[in-house]
Structure formats: C-alpha cells, structure tokens
Amino acid sequence: MKDEYKTKKQLIAEEALQKNSSLLKALSHAQSQFIANIDTHVLFDELLNQLITLTQSEYGYIGEVLYSSEGKPYVKTNAITNIAWNEETRKLYEKFASQGMELHNLKNLIGAVLITGKPVISNNPSTDPRRGGLPEGHPPLNAFLGMPLYKSGKLIGTVGIANRPNGYDEDLIEFLQPFLITCANIIEAHRIDQQRKLSEKEMTKLSMAIEQASDWVVITDSKGNIEYANKAVEEITGYKRDELIGQNPRIFKSGKHDEQFYKKMWDTILSGLPYRIIITNRKKNGELFEIYHTITPLKNKKGEITHFVSTAKDMTQQKLMEEKINYLAYYDTLTNLPNRSLFNDRVKQAVARAEYNKKLIAVLLVDIDRFTFINDTFGADVGDEVLKEVGKRLSNSVREGDTVARLGSDEFGISLIDIAQSSDIVLILKNIMKNIRQPIKIVREDLIITACIGISIYPADAKDSPTLVKNAEIALTKVRGMQMNNYQFYTSDMNVRASEFLLMEKNLFDALKNGEFIIYYQPYFDINTGEITGMEALLRWNSPALGLLPPSRFIPPLEETGMIIDVGEWILKTVCSQIKDWQNKGYSVVPVSVNLSPVQFSQRDLEDVLERHIKESGINPKFITFEITESAFMQDIEFTKSVLEKLKKIGISVSIDDFGTGYSSLSYLKRFPVDNLKIDISFIRDIATDPDSASIVTAIISMAHGLGIKTIAEGVETEEQWKILRILRCDIMQGFYRSRPLPAEDVEKMLNK
C-alpha cells in the first residue's frame, strides 16, 4: 500500500541506490577474486559485463596503456567484452590492439582520451571530428564515453563504453569513479604479474591500495578468526586493529538478526560460494550501522577453503538519506505534520478498520480565513509562523490516534477515528475552533485567527476514502461561500450543487471569452428636483442557452472561482469607454457607480488596474464611483482604510452599499473617506409601514449628514416611499419608481433629454 504513494523523487533515489548496490557487488567481487589471485582477464571480463549492464551500453573495453622507450603511450587491450559483438569484430579489435599503434598519431575517440588524459563524451560520434582515423570495419557508434585510468598520478589505462540509449553525461562519470579506481588497481597488479616482478615494494603498493580503500576489508582464517582489517574497518566500527585481530566477527553482532540468518550465511560460504547481504552491525560505542556485505571463500590449489575475505560498504548514510527522502514524501517540512499523501493513506486505513469495528469516521478539512491577506500584510515569514501555530493547535485539539495533516497552502486535514456517535464530532469541532481563535502574538500585536471547516462522516456520507475526502471538500467550499469562522457538514444535495457549479464555471468562462456579458445602467435621481445625479452599472449575462440572467445567478460562482477579477476589469474598461463615448456625443455625463466585490477589493494591484483603464479611456476619475458592501469594509479596518485612501488619491468617489445590515459600524465610519451611504433596501421597503425601519433610516441619514456624507436610498418603488424619504431629507433615490436598469442606448435618450 505504501508503495502506491512513492513520489518521483523517491523513485529516483531508489534507482540510484540500486545502481550503487550493483556497482558495489561488482567491485566487492573483483576485490575478493583479486586477493584470491584470479586471472586478471577473467576479472576484466566480469567487471566489463557489470559495467555494460549497469550503464545499459552495447559495447565496451578496458585498455592498458604501455609506454615506449621514448615515453610515448601505446594501447594494449587487456579485455574486450563480446556483448552484442560478432566474432569478426572481436578479432578486429584484438588485431588493432596488438599492433601497438601510437595514439598520438591515431585521431579517434580513444586517442582523444590518451592525448588529453581526460574523459571524452561524444553523444553524436557520426559527426564528431574525433571519430575519424579508425580501421575499416569498425562497428558503428551512436554514443561514446571514454575514461582515463590513473594510478599514483600516472595514466595507465582507459575504459570505453558505447551505444547507451540515452547517451552519456558528467553525472555518470562521477558515479563510475569507484569502478575506475578498482580497474586502475587491477591493471597495476596485472602489470606486476605480467612482468613477474612481485617485489616486496610492489606488494606493499598492493597492500596500501587495500589498506587505504574507503570500503571495509576483513580477512579471516577458515574458522572465522580475524587476521586482517583495513583502516576503513577501524573508522566504521571504532575498534582499533589490535582489538580485532584474533577476534571473531561476532564482536560486531547487533542482535538484529536471528540464528537462522547466520546459519544460512555459514552454510553458503562453507560450501565455497560467496554470500551477499545487507547486515546491521554494532560499533564499539553501541551505535548501529548497516553495511552491504560480501563474504568470499578463498581456496588453495587443492580446492580447500583457507580464508574468508569480507568486503563491505557502509550503508548508514544511504539509509539515512532514504529515510529523509521517505520523510519528504509523506510529511510537510514546515509543520512536520503528515502531508496529503499520508493523510489520504491514513483515511483509507481508517475506513478499512471502521468496516470491521462499525465505528464512525469524520474527515475535517480546515481552511484559514483571510490567510492570503495575512501573508501579504505581514510577510511570508509571519505566514509560516501562523501555519505552524495552527498546526500545533489542531494537533492539541484532537485525540491520540487521530491524524492532523497539512494538505497545502493554508488548508489542513483532520481524520477523527473510532467515533461512537456524531454528537462527539461537534464537541471536537467546537474545541478546534476555540483553540484556533486564541490570539497569536505577531510583531507586538495580537492576531486573531479564524477558520472554516468542512466535514464528511463515514459511512453516512461516503463508504470509501476518496469520496469521503471529496465530500469534505464540497462542504468546505460551501461554508467558505457563507461566512468566516464557521463549519458545515456535508449533505447529499451538495454534490448536485457542486456539479451545477462546475457547469456554471465553464459557461461563465465561455461567456467572458465570447462577449456574452453586457452592462445595464440604473439612474440615481435627486430626491427633491428629480434630476439624474448618477447611475449604477449593473452586470447582466445574455446567455445563448438561458437568456438574460441577473447577477444573483452568476456573481457567486464568479467570486468563488476568482473569475470576478477578470470580469470586474472588463466592467471597469467598458464603463470608462461608455462614459467617454457619451462625452464625445455631447451628453451631460453623470458619475457611474461600479460595484467592487470583496475579492476585487483585496487585489494587491487594484490601484494600478484602476489608473490604467481611466488613463486609457481619457475620462476624469470623478465620473467613477466605487460601491463596496458594508461587510467587505468591515473585514479589516486598517486594510480598508488604506485602500480607500488610495482610491480617493486617484480621484474616485466611494459609496458604502447595503449600509445598516448586520454590522455595528457607525463608530468606524468617521475613519473612512466615504462620499455616499446607500441605505439597504430592506429598510426602504418597510419604511411606510414599519416604524422601526423609519427610525433606522432617520438615524442613518442624520448620522451621515453629520459626517458630510450623502445618502442614497435604494429600492424606492412607490410614491409614498419617495415622499417619506424627502421628508427625512435623504439626498438621492434609486429604484423602479423612477427607472428600471436600462441598456446603454436607452440611457442615452434620458441623457439627451
């Protein structure tokens, strides 16, 4: 199950680990056979086969460099693989190597390695100028990599591989460095063997090569008693060589493997076969470490086992890297909480368990309110601190065994398991919301955080984990569209509405692209003189399928999807162009109000967008008024104040729309640079029949006039309402009593009169 969630990064790491293991096997085997005096040609054949398999190449060779009496290099091929080669080609290369041709005079890719002493990569040999000069009958090359072999700073050989499907690069050269060092060591030993001069000095060099190797080398007698350990063993285990000589390797025993593990190992090596395994050992200080271990029996001429050679590579760092990659694949590094992959896996496991124990599961998706504003206002560092703090508070709000995860950005997921009854979920919900709302100290200020939560419950809402999470997302979308600091349980009809929403989103996208939106204009009238003093721009959607639709049908989806940004910019551009057109026709133009949604109001580049369209149209900014709902004003007082000041600086007027509905904002009003208050239609509708509505309207008008703000009554539909508003000294009225919203050509007729 866990493998289903491996990331690409994790798969790449595992592939690299597998390649390292393959290379290690080849080198360990070569070292053991080298110590056992196996023929060098056989070693090269085996190493070369490993290299070709490892790099997915088609051809390859390992060549020994000899020097003439003049100090010029020749090449002698010590081993050539027969992989994908016919016998005639092999004979050709053997003949070519036996000629001892001077590579200074041989202009080919192999010669380039000898001449430069550096690796040569050619991923298009057919056009490479270094390709020429080879004898006729040379096999075709599609890609070539040649690498020099050095020993004690002297060039002693070359390795060449060719025709790898994806070509060659520098990373492969770096990966093959241990292989090249081993080849160089064996060539050096082979040179000594060929010359039959196994002097003590040369044997010392060979010993030094093993002694200074970075990999573990231990030699024991046939009973397993340690006779030799190189320096790497001391560095890895912490034991000194004197402490190890004469000891049995069980001194490294970690207790992590049973007797059957060791029995299998001894049965294998006593039968004369090498044994390879990843084993966990213990250092002198008690720490555990892992090594990739190869134990090879050494035999005398009679075939009797005389020694065992243990070669190994410390895998501890690779193991730590693998664990780190695994952590990155399943955990969020900022909050240290599980990420979406692990959360989905936990929910899946919880559903499987709930099918057995018949308990409830609740999936909660939590979204921090106004997190984008927090991030933009205080900076990303503060935003990160908020996310970490919210993660801690959520974790402290649930029970042991429940899962809290960060799913991305400011969204968290919670899986509540083993719930006995649904009422228990509400108690946990209230505890979560209470803990989130505790003040967070940010830049010497207390920041209050709120969140919206969508909830779905197993098995009532879904019986599989993907649907359970999806339904919680639908509930979260619903509550986000309602209000902040609230939660919403999933209901079955939400899926229908979600499908309708997705269809509406597509249609709206097409509407903007196809020019289906139009602007209607509803005039404002002076309540005393009846003159037109302004008008409001109202968006309509002329849908080919549904006809002319009012804003209530499509504005909510526009705001939830963020499309209101593009549509709002289109409205502003259209209104500015219309005003300019009326001016060019000689009409007496009045200010036009444009509704600004909360989403637009939060735009960071709002000021730039406004100035650009006003400048492009060439109109005076005084002919534009922005209407912003009271609820949007009250989201953040300081932010609202700063935005309004920018609008006033441009020269744009500001109206508060739907004033008086649900917010005690009178005390804040004096802080805002506002020009007009639009009294909510609910008070105007009942002004002639409800004394309370009349009192509220009276208070709003009186308060606004005291602050030098004009009042606009919206929704005036009767003569009686108009007369009362005139008595109450309201300034402007808007409504069906004087005019319905009209297309631009009908408004022109009114302006012309």
DSSP 469-492: HHHHHHHHHHHHTT-SSEEEE--T
Whole-angstrom distance, CA of residue 29 vs CA of residue 294 = 8
Strand 411-419 with 360-368, pairing: antiparallel
Whole-angstrom distance, CA of residue 449 vs CA of residue 438 = 7
For residues 36 and 309, is the Cβ–Cβ distance under 8 A? yes
Q: Is 219 in the same domain as 198?
A: no
Q: Is 270 in the same domain as 408?
A: no
Q: How high is the mean pLDDT in each 10-residue block of the chain (753 residues)?
A: 47 51 61 56 74 82 73 55 45 58 53 84 82 60 87 85 87 84 78 58 61 82 88 88 87 88 89 88 88 87 88 72 70 89 91 86 91 79 90 92 91 91 84 89 77 91 90 86 78 61 74 90 94 93 84 79 85 93 90 87 80 89 88 71 85 86 60 87 89 89 90 93 94 94 90 76
The pLDDT value recorded for residue 387 is 92
Residue 264 identity: K
The answer to the question of residue 554 being in a domain is yes
The pLDDT value recorded for residue 90 is 58
**HSE (side-chain half, CA atoms, 13 Å) at 14:** 9
Whole-angstrom distance, CA of residue 49 vs CA of residue 711 = 90
Q: Name the strand (E) or helix (H) holding 517.
A: strand 517-526
Q: Is 101 in the same domain as 162?
A: yes
Q: Is 642 in the same domain as 523?
A: yes
The two tokens of residue 412 are 């968290």
Q: Is 430 in the same domain as 573?
A: no
The answer to the question of residue 740 being in a domain is yes
Q: Is 229 in the same domain as 173?
A: no
The answer to the question of residue 498 being in a domain is no
The CATH number of the domain holding residue 186 is: 3.30.450.40
The answer to the question of residue 8 being in a domain is no
pLDDT digit string (tens) for 540-558?
988 887 788 888 778 877 8
The pLDDT value recorded for residue 537 is 94
User: How far from the centroid of its chain's Cα atoms is residue 131's Cα?
Assistant: 44
Which among 253, 285, 320 is the end of a domain? Answer: 320
Mean pLDDT over all residues of the chain? 81
The CATH number of the domain holding residue 277 is: 3.30.450.20
The pLDDT value recorded for residue 32 is 59
Instruction: Please state the domain count of the chain.
Output: 4
> 735 φ, ψ to 5°?
160, 175
Edge-to-edge strands, sheet with 305-314: 226-229, 216-221, 305-314, 288-299, 275-282
Whole-angstrom distance, CA of residue 83 vs CA of residue 104 = 29
The CATH number of the domain holding residue 580 is: 3.20.20.450
Q: Is 356 in the same domain as 486?
A: yes
| CA gyration radius, the chain | 41
Coil, helix or strand for 376? helix
Which among 206, 225, 260 is the end of a domain? Answer: 206
Whole-angstrom distance, CA of residue 397 vs CA of residue 432 = 5
Q: Is 479 in the same domain as 552?
A: no
Q: Is 373 in the same domain as 394?
A: yes
The pLDDT value recorded for residue 126 is 75
The answer to the question of residue 381 being in a domain is yes
pLDDT digit string (tens) for 307-326?
998 888 777 666 666 666 66
The pLDDT value recorded for residue 728 is 92
The answer to the question of residue 18 being in a domain is no
Q: Is 524 in the same domain as 385?
A: no
Whole-angstrom distance, CA of residue 64 vs CA of residue 46 = 16
Per the DSSP assignment, residues forming a β-bridge with 298 are 307
Q: Is 537 in the same domain as 654?
A: yes
| Structural domain span for residue 558 | 517-752
18: exposed, middle or buried (Cβ count in 10 Å: 0-12, 13-18, 19+): exposed
For residues 521 and 593, is the Cβ–Cβ distance under 8 A? no
Q: Is 169 in the same domain as 258?
A: no
